[in-house]
């Protein structure tokens, strides 16, 4: 099975969640073994999407070079990973990826427009060999060996609209498009008001997030589908694990996971060579990935 990039350049413009300003995003093809590379055209900073580039996980996954950063990369990475794109250049003219509608759907549309180009080099996969788990009290995230990539996530909020939700997802590009990609990020009005007082979330609105008060959803259209909240958590997890740099052959499970726990998980996996194997696939049918990314 061969590495993949996009076939042509595509561009879009969206609002930045935190600064509330328009941001242009451009996706360009890259040659084999380049990986996923972010470039800030406003300051000339280039940074590769990998765990060592992560500098903050408080409200989003943020990468940087020690002096400058690019925030909110997880929704875009989630879509890129799910489309089986190995090599791509992402150019931004600001410090964050535009939030679009708060899900991965807009990025899927960009990738559909860009098309796919198969390269000559074999695709690599990231095979989980041992269970790795990160705890934070009762919260946890873990990966386990499996030839069938799955995501199992549980959340439990005291809010009456959310409550306890659990969703199990068998990974494939089409399943991602149908069941995960349109799940939006969510937040609470009191948190939005606090963040805005600190100069953050200035671009947040009912157009790019599910927003709730103490009792109900404020978005007039309501939810896009049942369990949208926990589905979005899976969308985030896919994006965070994409930083490992190749399709993950293993299962992921979480109770109330977060960007920070996902980042600690990727670091823990890489800390012990016995936890994983990175392998180039000469056989197109191995792990049935050809069908997964079809």
Which residues have a catalytic role annotated? 259
**How many CB atoms lie under 10 A from the CB of residue 107?**
27
Contact 109, 92 (CB under 8 A): no
Residue written as tokens 């995501």?
151
Return the residue matching tokens 């000559």: 120
Residue 194 token pair: 């606090």
């Amino acid at each position: 099975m061969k590495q993949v990039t996009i076939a042509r350049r595509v561009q879009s413009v969206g609002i930045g969640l935190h600064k509330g300003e328009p941001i242009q995003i451009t996706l360009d093809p890259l040659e084999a073994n380049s990986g996923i590379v972010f470039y800030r055209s406003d300051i000339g900073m280039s940074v590769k999407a990998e765990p060592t580039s992560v500098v903050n996980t408080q409200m989003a996954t943020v990468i940087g070079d020690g002096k400058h950063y690019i925030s909110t990369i997880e929704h875009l990475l989630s879509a890129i990973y799910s489309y089986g794109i190995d090599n791509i250049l992402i150019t931004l003219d600001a410090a964050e990826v535009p939030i679009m509608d708060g899900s991965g759907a807009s990025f899927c549309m960009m990738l559909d427009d860009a098309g796919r180009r198969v390269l000559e080099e074999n695709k690599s996969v990231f095979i989980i060999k041992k269970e790795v788990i990160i705890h934070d009290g009762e919260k946890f995230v873990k990966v386990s060996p499996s030839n069938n990539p799955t995501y199992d996530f549980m959340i439990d909020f005291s809010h009456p609209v959310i409550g306890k939700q659990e969703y199990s997802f068998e990974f494939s590009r089409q399943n991602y498009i149908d069941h995960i990609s349109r799940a939006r990020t969510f937040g609470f009005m009191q948190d939005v008001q606090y963040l805005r007082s600190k100069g953050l979330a200035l671009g947040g609105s009912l157009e790019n997030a599910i927003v709730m008060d103490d009792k109900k959803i404020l978005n007039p259209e309501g939810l896009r589908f049942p369990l949208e909240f926990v589905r979005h958590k899976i969308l985030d997890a896919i994006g965070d694990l994409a930083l490992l740099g190749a399709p993950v052959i293993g299962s992921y499970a979480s109770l109330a996971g977060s960007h920070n726990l996902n980042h600690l998980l990727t670091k823990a996996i890489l800390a012990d060579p016995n936890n994983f194997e990175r392998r180039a696939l000469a056989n197109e049918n191995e792990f049935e990935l050809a069908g997964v990314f079809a």
